[in-house]
Amino acid sequence: MRTTEEAEPGAEDGRAGAAARKREQHGWYFYDFACSVYSTSVLTVFLGPYLTAVAKAAADSEGYVHPLGIPVRAGSYFAYTVSVSVIVAVLIMPLVGAVADRTGRKKPLLAVTAYTGAAATAGMFFLDGDRYLLGGLLLIVANAALAVSMVLYNAFLPQISTPDERDTVSSRGWAFGYTSGALVLLLNLVLYQGHDSFGISEGVAVRICLASAGLWWGAFALIPLRRLRDRAVVREPGAGPAVSRWRQLVATLKDMRRYPLTLSFLLAYLIYNDGVQTVISQASVYGSEELELEQSTLIVAVLLVQVLAVVGALGMGRLARVYGAKRTILGSLAAWGLTLAAGYFLPARTPVWFFALAAMIGLVLGGSQALSRSLFSHLVPAGKEAEYFSAYEMSDRGLSWVGPLVFGLTYQVTGSYRDAIISLVFFFALGFVLLARVPVRRAVRAAGNPVPERI
């Protein structure tokens, strides 16, 4: 199945085509601007420590809660819930990707998933007392909706940019996201620090910060939904509307076996990105529970990450133009491993060292994610963008349940968040080795795409 407009946007002629492409790119950036606030304010800063505190309030005398009758240490509840949310996303993403490519209607599906996630996030305002089950449910819905929406969002990238533009366009998208994350987090800091002057309690301030991320997500999602456009598809003879969607999913999995080098990249990405996503979701828990840092310190640290991630995303995009995306990503993975090793030795109650760690994370975070996305876009056969990006999202957010599970299990067994954080070095080391073995130029040619001068 092919789109009537090829994924290669260079087929559009003249200035009008270039202007239309730029308009879509600018709209595309704004979905990162919309949803990154959830990743920053909710998943990275507030929800982990807050949901852990709610779970502890509901725990028995031995410190355990019992969702579905399963004994779970309250300090591990958030990590386990993140894992469950990702497993739910795994069950949905490949089907949504197949439906999007078969129907060509990415935009309506993006709207449904975006507003489902935004509504669940806004609903976190009602998370108080010992409602840890409500918190877990809302987290599962919001996290899964975000992951599915990113399948559709990322699938637009090959259609709105030429091969030589993709590193830059992808990096700018991440930069937009980190900019919005920093802006909203700064507002959150003002509200949280001054909650007494606003006449509200600390808990209410946190709940407002959580809910405001959902409102922001929903409001700014309107921009990409107005500017992005669906491409019509040519239906294959005999392709039915409903039953064939499941057949399409099976066909996608079989089709990916024809591109073993693309699968090799996905395997490497699955592993190292699992480490990235776990650091993002668990860093605040580590800071509050193990390092005994105040919530305001964690907010400032994550704000620092957001600012430097913009610099890192744009800076690593420039490095990729000189050294290629693969080499730049490999350098970032080495930096990730060293950063986590340093984090293991951080002394408690010393914010300055935590800020230094946050700065190191910020400089590699945005670039490693942006370049991984743009590199993968070169490995996707034309006309199969949403299907293949569903597999990518399974690696990006969909299969990133192993890291939180390892983190939670390590804490449950040892009672030490230091042991939990050092366990994540394995993901970056193995991902580095696997990525180094992928011949990316050959992989691009095997997917039938033109090979950029630097990759």
Residue with tokens 């990162």: 32
Instruction: Give me the sign of the Cα torsion angle 85, 87, 91, 97.
Output: positive
The pLDDT, as a whole number, for residue 210 is 96
The pLDDT, as a whole number, for residue 5 is 41
Q: Can you say how many angstroms the Cα of residue 297 is from the centroid of all Cα atoms in its chain?
A: 23
Kindly list the distances between the CA atom of residue 281 and the CA atoms of 41, 81, 415, 450, in Å, as whole numbers in the listed order: 11, 11, 18, 37
CA angle, 284 as apex, 283 and 290 as ends, to 5°?
85
What CA–CA distance (Å, rounded) separates 175 from 138?
27
Residue 441 neighbours by CB distance under 10 Å: 14
List the chain pLDDT tens, one digit each, 455 residues: 444 444 444 444 456 677 888 889 999 999 999 999 998 899 888 998 899 999 999 999 888 999 988 999 998 899 889 889 988 887 887 778 778 877 888 899 999 999 999 999 999 999 988 899 999 999 999 999 998 998 889 888 888 888 778 778 887 887 888 889 889 988 998 999 899 999 999 999 999 999 999 999 999 999 999 999 887 665 544 444 434 444 555 666 677 788 889 889 988 988 998 898 888 778 888 888 889 898 889 888 888 887 887 788 788 888 888 889 899 999 999 999 999 999 999 999 999 999 998 898 888 887 787 788 889 888 888 777 767 776 676 655 555 678 888 888 888 888 888 998 999 999 999 999 999 999 999 999 998 888 887 88
Kindly list the distances between the CA atom of residue 408 and the CA atoms of 81, 384, 416, in Å, as whole numbers in the listed order: 10, 36, 10
What one-character DSSP code corresponds to residue 372?
H
Instruction: Give me the sign of the Cα torsion angle 12, 15, 21, 24.
Output: negative
